[in-house]
Every structure is written in C-alpha cells, then in structure tokens.
C-alpha cells in the first residue's frame, strides 16, 4: 500500500480543506496518508469526521507553517519543523512515496530540493501543469517554480516535459513547442530566441515556437516556457473564464445564463484549474512531489492525493530519471 | 479636415482589406486619406469601388513592403521607399495628422522612431491596447512593441499609460497596476519586483501588482507589463475565447451552440481584438501612430482610421507630451 505525506498547512483553506480531502482519499483510495502539521489542529479537524479513527491516517506533528509572504529559504532555515519540511523528510526516508502540498510553491520547491535533491542532469525542477486543449490535453511547464530562467533551463524543461508526457501520458514522441508570441524562430524575446536554438539541438521532437494564441489548440503535447510566463498564461485564462461566465449570465439572464456556465464553463474550469485537475508534479526533484493550487478545496486535495498515488505506482520519478540519463 | 496616412501594405490581408477599409472611412468619416503603397496595386483595388474617384483619397506611391520575416532596422535601411517609411514621412512633414498601419509592428515602431523621434522623457514607445473588463475597459501596455524591457521602461509605461487614460478616456486619477503572478510586492520575477519599486516612487496612482487572474476584473485602469508578457496575455485570451466557442457549440449542438457564441463570444472578440476595437496607439513617439492587428479586416482598418481621426482631433500626442513633462 502506498503512503502519501500531505502538508496539512498548505493552501488558503488549510488545515480544514486538507484534512477533509485526506479523509475522502483515505476512505476510498486504499492508501495510507501521513497528515503533517500541528497535531492538535489536525486532531480537531479529524474529530469532525465520525469514522476518522478507523481510517488509515497518521498524524505527524509539525508545528510551523511557511506563510505566503515569507522568503522560502530563510523561513525554512528558521523553522526546521515546518510542516512542508517534515513532510519532505518522510519522503526522503522512504516512509512516504510522495509529497502533496497546496501551500507556498517556492517553499515546497526549496524543501524538496534541500531534502532529496534533483535528478542527475537537472538544474531547475519545474512545475508541470496539464492544460485542456481542443483535442485533449497538453503539459505546460514551467507553471511557476522558476520565475527567472536562462535558455538552458527551458531546454531542460523540454526534455523533462517530453519524458513525463511519455511516462505519464503514454505519448511515444511528444511534440514539444516553445510558448512565444510569434511562430517564426526569430520572434519572441531574448530568452525564447536562445531557447529556440537550444531546443533545436536537443534530443526532443521540437516543433518550434507555439504561438500563445495556439496554447489550447492541441498542436503541442508539451509547452515550454519560463515560470513567470507559464503562471501568467494560466492565471489570465482563469480570469477570462470567470469573466465570460459573468457575461453569459448577463446576456442570457438567470435561466439560460445559469445553465450555460454550469455546463461548459464549470467543466472548463475543472479541466483548467490544476488543483481540481489533480495537482501538478514538480518534475526534476529526486522524489515525487505534487503541488496543488493555493485555493485547493477538499475535493482538489483528494484529487492531488489520488494523482500522487497513481504517479507513485507508475514509478514516474524512476522512469523520468532513466529517460533523462545522457 | 484631418488627413490620415494609411500604410496600404500593412497586414495579412493587404492591400485589399486596407483599401476597402479606407474607402469605407472616406465615405463616412469626413476626412482625407493618403493611401501609401504601390500606386498600380492601390489603383486596381480602388477601381473595384464605383465611387472611388469621388472620395477624398490620395494615392502616394511607395513601391516597397517590409515583410514579417525581415529585421525592421536593416529592412528599412535597404528600402527607403517602403510604404511604412513614406507614410511616416507624411506625418513628419505635417501633411497627415496620424499614421495607421496593420503591418509589422516592429517596422512601424522603427520607422516612427527614426522619422519623428520620441517625446521628451520617453526611452521606449509602447503599444497601448484597450482590453474589456468586468466594469468597462482598461489600457494594457506594452502590448508587444518591446519584448525585452528594463524596470525603468515599465515605470515609463505606467506614466504614459496614466497620461493616456486621462487624455483619451477622461479618467482623472487612473489606477495603475503592474501585471504579475502574485499580489504581494515580492512576487513576480526580477523585472516586476524592480518595476514595482520604481512605480511606487513614480507620480502615478500606483495600486501595486495586478494578479494576472484579475487582468479583466476592472481593478486597474492601466495595466503595465513588458511587451512579451502583454502580447502573450492578449494572445492566450484570444485563443481561449476560440476554444470556449468550440466547446459551447459541441455542448449545445448547432442550434443553441450557434446562438451563444454569436451573441456573447463574438461581442467579446470584438471588444478583445484590438484591430476590431480600433487600432492600438503607439504611445511615446513624437506623432500619432495607430497599429492594427495583423489580421485586420476592412472593417478593422476603418475602425483604426476612425480612432486615429478621433485621437488627432483630441490632440492626444500634444497633451501626452505636456503630461509627461517633468
């Protein structure tokens, strides 16, 4: 049975949403959950569920939280018993097969990096988010782990993303596109122009620039960008879906306007929102780590735990390491 | 009567869409149009309109085009009689009050910069696009003129954007937001963090970071970003609207599915697409320049010409120059 370490203090709705999501997962998914955070708070939240004592959930006491405003490196140094750090250690020691957190992405990255390092050949781990496309789905990376990148980092993201698409999605020769603002190799900024040259020489199926307009087109299986750009593209899309929903309601009145957003837009939101969609793996670190959206609901936490179990059973990190070997 | 110089070779559908748009504008708007491009081609397109000879349209012969693949600086040096260059000279000499082009944005920028320079205190002109919001509209700049920016450029974009919002939209104290991936000052990348510090010291009503999710929220009147990020945000939005339209059609079948996108999404596209919306001014150059979307239709060209006439009559560049004075 797989054990998953869950940061109970991660996310805007923690610890309640995390504990509730863990309870849902523990009831249904046949796995062990290590809930990491202040034992008293977790205990109080668990007590709201009548069957809590019968579930395969273990509380691991870790009193400190890293808050959104803190600089991760300094905060983790100051707080060796922070929940994210203790959770990472459970994975490093082999007690858990994966780490799930909907908290501070930077803190998760730093804790993972410090605790179990990166895979050989990787300089910068990247957050890989699944985005819906006209024809199915694509992997976008980096979705926010590295806000300032060098061209060589983007080349690595392409290699890691392709390996992940093969391992996790079963695509034999994933098409790797570089997110930019024009199709031609010369368009984009200094970063994308140099990354284009690097990806052209890399051993991936590089299809060149992917116009931002075509992000959802299905032309690429793997979409490469720096973390600022990737996070920006995802958040702009989230905001736009919200606005279109409002307009549909205004244009069609409460009756139809309620139906249309409910059906299509909610389904889109579910596909779009990486928390709902099951958490985003942090590719390139030495162990399996999934990051949930900061606004993760209990359902989102449950989805992320399920995804972590699935990827752990598929031995994704081991296979990624093998694929990245020079 | 205002005269507008129109680059007849600008845009994917040129010269036909440009000539047709100019004809529409000349019929209705009470202005003179100088159509700049190969005289024979323009003449042939004009001949398709029975009333062409009676319209206030003058052909200015300029045989050469700058194509999308060319590096603007070198191309303009090689082709002194390129349509965009000749059109800019008509504005520099005072024969036209504004320049309109749906062609190569980089070439338009370089031609304008070389021909009539920038306003005092401006290092980098910026493309200012009007985006729809939940509550009305906002000015986003830079939308693609400067793909690599320094923090000081973003500060200038804030000052120019605020001045433009006052002059063109009548907003007394425009709220200026810095497009980023988090609300806190410390979030974002190196560029936005430094620009945040600079904007905090600038004499604008700076409201701090604007989360990418809130781009369409109406929280800011002016949205500041580098040209790569701005262009990316606009194009991702365009692509997403296209995909949602497809999904609505699939979910609701041809009947309802045709109605919903027709009403709401088409109206959104019209509001979103800066060509349809009337062309985007290139703020900070010494004369009035409007850039249309590369895919501009005749209607879009007509809208851009109308916007140019409106901004020329409002003496926007003169008032911008006054507002930018230290």
Residues of A whose CB is below 8 A from B140 = none
pLDDT for the residue A135: 84
Segment (H or E) for A63:
none
CB contact under 8 A, A181 and B148: no
- Is A239 in contact with B246 (Cβ distance < 8 A)? no
pLDDT at residue B269, rounded to an integer: 62
Contacts of B77 (CB under 8 A, 6+ apart): none
Mutate to test the interface with A, among B236, B253, B256, B295 (most CBs of A within 10 A): B236
Cα A325 to Cα B92: distance, rounded to the nearest angstrom: 60
Nearest Cα to Cα of residue A18 among A227, A305, A225: A305
Report the alpha-carbon distance of residue A243 to residue A236 in Å, rounded: 11
- The chain A residue lying nearest B135, using CA atoms, is A243
Tokens representing A205 are 């199926």
How far is Cα of residue B317 from the mean position of the Cα atoms in its chain? 14
Phi, psi of A292, deg, nearest 5: -95, 165
Q: Which residue has the higher pLDDT, B65 or B293?
A: B65
Q: Which of B87, B25, B102 is nearest to B292 (CA)?
A: B102
pLDDT at A253: 62
Task: Report DSSP letters for A230-253, one per residue.
Answer: HHHHHHHHHHHHHHHHHHHHHHHH
| Phi-psi label, residue B305: left if phi above 0, alpha if psi -120 to 50, beta otherwise | alpha
Model confidence, pTM? 0.90
Q: What is the ipTM of this complex?
A: 0.89
Mean pLDDT of chain B: 90
Q: What is the pLDDT of residue B275?
A: 42
Q: What is the mean pLDDT of chain A?
A: 90
Chain B closest CA to A95's CA: distance in Å? 34
Instruction: Name residues 90-109 of chain A within 8 A of B (Cβ).
Output: none
What pLDDT digit, counting tens, does each position of A165-214 carry? Answer: 998 888 999 999 999 998 888 889 999 999 999 999 999 999 999 999 99
B256 has a pLDDT exceeding 80: no
Inter-residue contact A10 to A83 (CB < 8 Å): yes
Q: Which residues of B touch A145 (CB under 8 A)?
A: none
Q: Residue range B109-120: average pLDDT?
A: 94
Mean pLDDT of A109-125: 94
Token pair 């060509």 in the structure block, residue: B275
- Count of Cβ atoms closer than 10 Å to residue B50 Cβ: 7
CB A137 within 8 A of CB A43: no
Contacts of B12 (CB under 8 A, 6+ apart): B294, B295, B296
Cis amide leading into B142 (omega within 30) = yes
Structure tokens at B58: 């003058």
A236–B238 CB contact, under 8 Å:
no
pLDDT band of A134, cuts 50, 70, 90: confident
Phi first, then psi: give them for residue B283, nearest 5 degrees.
-80, 135
Q: Alpha-carbon distance A323 to A326, whole Å?
A: 8
3-state DSSP assignment of residue A181: coil
Q: Residue A82 carries which DSSP code?
A: B
CA angle B242/B247/B251 to nearest 5° reads 155
Which whole-number Å values give the CA distances from A188 to A97, B108, B152, in the listed order? 40, 17, 21
| More confident of the two residues A262 and B120 | B120
Give dist(CA B222, CA B175) in Å, integer.
6
- Please tell me the predicted confidence (pLDDT) of residue B274: 46
Question: For the residues B4-17, what does the mean pLDDT come to?
Answer: 94
Q: What's the rounded Cα separation, in Å, for the pair A98 and A15?
A: 19
Q: Which of residues 252-271 of B touch A (CB under 8 A)?
A: 252, 260, 263-265, 267-268
Mean pLDDT of A9-22: 93
- Bridge partners for A139 per DSSP: A130, A222
State residue A275's pLDDT score.
42
Per-residue pLDDT at A265 exceeds 80: no
Q: Alpha-carbon distance A7 to A20, whole Å?
A: 13
Q: Which residues pair with B319 in a beta bridge?
A: none
What gap in Å lies between CA A32 and CA A56, rounded to an integer? 5
pLDDT in tens, B139-180: 999 999 999 999 999 999 999 999 999 988 899 999 999 999
In whole angstroms, how far apart are CA B151 and each of B190, B196, B249?
Answer: 9, 8, 43
Q: Name which of B212, B225, B273 to mutate to probe chain A: the one with the most chain A Cβ atoms within 10 A of its Cβ.
A: B212
B231 is written with which tokens?
A: 């262009």
Residue ranges of B 22-61 with Cβ closer than 8 A to chain A? none
CB A250, CB B251: distance < 8 Å: no
Three-state helix/strand/coil letters over chain B: CCEEEEECCCCCCCCHHHHHHHHHHHHHCCCEEEEEECHHHHHHHHCCCCCHHHCCEEEEECCECCCCCCCHHHHHHHCCCEHHHHHHHHHHCCCCCEEEECCCHHHHHHHHHHHHCECCCCCCCEECEEEECCCCEEEEECCCCCCCCCHHHHHHHHHHHHHHHHHHHCCCCCEEEEEECCCCCCCCCHHHHHHHHHHHHCCCEEEEEEEHHHCCCCCCCEEECCHHHHHHHHHHHHHHHHHHHHHHHHHHHHHHHHHHHHHHHHHHHHHHCCCCCCCEEEECECCEEEECCCCCCHHHHHHHHHHHHHHHHCCHHHHHHHHHCC
Band of residue A36 on the pLDDT scale cut at 50, 70, 90: very high
Six-digit token string for B304: 């851009």
Lowest model confidence (mean pLDDT) among A123-127, B104-108, B285-289 = B104-108
Distance from the Cα of B310 to chain A's closest Cα (Å) equals 29
Is B248 close to A260, i.e. CB distance below 8 A? Answer: yes
Minimum CA–CA partner of B243 in chain A = A134
- Please give the pLDDT value at position A121: 87
pLDDT of A117 > 80? The answer is yes
Per-residue model confidence (pLDDT) at position A185: 85
Q: Does A135 touch chain B (CB under 8 A)?
A: no
What is the Cα–Cα distance from A90 to A115, expressed in whole angstroms?
A: 10
Tell me A91's DSSP state. H
Rg of chain A (C-alpha set): 20
The pLDDT tens digits of the residues spanning B218-255 come to: 999 999 999 999 999 999 998 888 777 777 667 666 55
Q: Which of A38-42, A160-164, B49-53, B296-300 has the lowest mean pLDDT?
A: B296-300
Q: Average pLDDT, stretch A147-171?
A: 94
Q: What is the pLDDT of residue A256?
A: 57
Under 8 Å between Cβ of A35 and A14: no
Sign of the CA dihedral with B145 first, then B283, B122, and B172 last: negative
Give the angle subtended at the CA of A130 by the CAs of A127 and A131, to the nearest 5°: 125
* Coil, helix or strand at residue A257: helix
> How many C-beta neighbours within 10 Å does residue A144 have?
26
Q: How confident is the model at residue A318 (pLDDT cuts 50, 70, 90)?
A: very high
pLDDT digits (tens, 9 = 90+) for A283-300: 999 999 999 887 788 988
The SS3 of residue A88 is helix
Task: Kindly determine whether residue B69 and residue A233, on different chains, have CB atoms separated by under 8 Å.
Answer: no
pLDDT in tens, B311-321: 999 999 999 99
What token pair was written down for A176?
């790797």
Q: How confident is the model over A38-69, as pLDDT tens digits? A: 999 999 999 999 999 999 999 999 999 998 77
From the CB of residue B218, how many other CB atoms can be counted at a distance below 10 Å? 16
For A268, the closest chain B residue by CA position comes to: B244
Contact pairs from chain A to chain B, CB under 8 Å: 146
- Could you give the dihedral angle defined by the CA atoms of residues B86, B92, B96 and B98, in that order, rounded to the nearest 10 degrees? 90
- Choose between A183 and A244: higher pLDDT: A183
The answer, yes or no, to whether the previous bond of B39 is cis (omega within 30 of 0) is no
Query: CA dist B160 to A193, B131, B142, B154, B235, Å?
Result: 29, 17, 10, 10, 23
Contacts A242 to B, Cβ<8 Å: 213, 216
Any CB–CB contact under 8 A between B11 and chain A? no
Residue A24: predicted pLDDT? 96
């Amino acid at each position: 049975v797989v054990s998953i370490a869950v940061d109970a203090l991660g996310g805007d709705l923690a610890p309640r949403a995390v504990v509730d999501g863990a309870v849902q997962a523990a009831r249904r998914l046949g796995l062990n959950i290590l809930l990491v955070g202040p034992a008293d708070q977790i205990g109080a939240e668990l007590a709201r569920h009548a069957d809590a004592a019968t579930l395969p959930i273990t509380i691991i006491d870790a009193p400190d939280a890293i808050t959104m405003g803190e600089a991760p490196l300094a905060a983790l140094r100051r707080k060796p018993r922070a929940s994210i750090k203790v959770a990472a250690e459970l994975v490093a020691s082999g007690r858990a097969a994966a780490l799930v957190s909907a908290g501070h992405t930077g803190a998760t990255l730093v804790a993972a990096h410090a605790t179990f390092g990166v895979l050989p050949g990787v300089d910068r781990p990247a957050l890989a988010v699944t985005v819906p496309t006209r024809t199915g789905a694509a992997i976008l990376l980096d979705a926010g782990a590295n806000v300032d990148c060098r061209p060589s980092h983007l080349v690595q993201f392409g290699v890691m993303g392709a390996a992940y698409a093969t391992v996790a999605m079963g695509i034999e020769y994933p098409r790797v596109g570089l997110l930019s603002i024009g199709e031609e190799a010369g368009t984009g900024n200094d970063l994308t122009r140099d990354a284009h040259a690097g990806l052209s020489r890399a051993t991936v199926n590089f299809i060149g620039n992917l116009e931002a307009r075509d992000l959802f087109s299905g032309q690429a299986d793997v979409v490469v960008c720096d973390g600022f750009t990737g996070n920006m593209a995802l958040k702009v899309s989230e905001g736009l879906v919200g606005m279109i929903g409002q307009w549909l309601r205004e244009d069609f009145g409460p009756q139809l306007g309620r139906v249309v957003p409910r059906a299509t837009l909610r389904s889109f939101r579910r596909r779009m929102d990486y928390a709902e969609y099951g958490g985003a793996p942090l590719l390139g670190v030495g162990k399996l780590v999934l990051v949930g959206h900061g606004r993760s609901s209990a359902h989102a936490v449950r989805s992320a735990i399920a995804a972590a179990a699935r990827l752990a059973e598929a031995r994704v990190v081991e296979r990624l390491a093998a694929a990245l070997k020079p």
